[in-house]
Amino acid sequence: MRNHRSEYMTVISVIDTLKSNSFFSDFPEDQLDHLLAIAREVEYRTQEEIFHQHELAKEVFLITSGKAALVICEAGIGCRQIMEVAEGDLIGWSPLLDHPRLSDTARTLTPVKAIAFDGGKLLELCEGNPQFGYKFMRKTARVLSERLNAVRWQLVDVHGTNLPEVALESD
């Protein structure tokens, strides 16, 4: 009986976390209920890997507290942190795009709590429920766009060159 109560408390905790998260806050409760079957709460200590670059892409994570670094490592170059992620951020999205392997490493900077979703089942849920899937993928695309924009600004900082201002022709 104690385990059942513990599982019940976890279900309530996951639903409350999803409702309070900006990514999921405008999803109807019945759609959040579908996520429960494919979700689990996870915790990581400081300097622990959530996932590793080139591993099989199996799960998508919603960070509920703490901070992590997204890192890319390449032979001859070493490892470079490309950005920090924190509460409310979605990471490990490769399985949603049918990418078989992860493109970076997520390493905690502080203790991290997250909700891990089975990536394959999450994709099935999106495909099986077009209303949910459209909304979820649209929000995921927004996350990817924000990440791409952040990396773009990093490239400008590192490799950008100041050019003289040039008057642009208008139509």
Residue 109 lies in a domain: yes
pLDDT band for position 165 (cuts 50, 70, 90): confident
Domain that holds residue 96: 38-152
pLDDT at 115: 95
* Residue 87 is assigned to a structural domain of this protein: yes
Residue 67 lies in a domain: yes
Distance between CA atoms of 84 and 69, rounded to whole angstroms? 4
Confidence (pLDDT) at 14: 85
pTM, full prediction = 0.83
Alpha carbon separation from 146 to 40, 102, 137, 155 (Å, rounded): 26, 19, 14, 14
> Could you read off the pLDDT of 121-135 as tens digits, one per residue?
999 999 999 999 999
The two structure tokens encoding residue 30:
């019945």
Indicate whether 46 belongs to any domain. Answer: yes
9 lies in a domain?
no
Do the beta carbons of residue 85 and residue 67 sit within 8 Å? yes
**Residue 57: helix, strand or coil by DSSP?**
coil
User: 58: closest CA among 89, 101, 18?
Assistant: 101
pLDDT band (50, 70, 90) for residue 1: very low
- Mean predicted confidence (pLDDT) in 138-165: 78
Residue 115 placed within a domain: yes
Is residue 6, in this structure, part of any structural domain at all? no
Distance CA 149, CA 5 (A): 44
* CB 92 within 8 Å of CB 59: yes
CATH label of the domain that carries residue 121: 2.60.120.10
Q: Where would I find the beta strands (DSSP E) of the chain? A: 39-44, 49-51, 59-65, 67-74, 78-86, 90-91, 105-108, 112-118
Task: Report the domain count for the chain.
Answer: 1
Supply the pLDDT for residue 149.
85
Task: Report the distance separating Cα 56 and Cα 89, nearest Å.
Answer: 21
Residue 56 lies in a domain: yes
- Express each pLDDT in 39-95 by its tens digit: 999 999 999 999 999 999 999 999 999 999 999 998 888 898 989 999 999 999 999
pLDDT of residue 153: 76
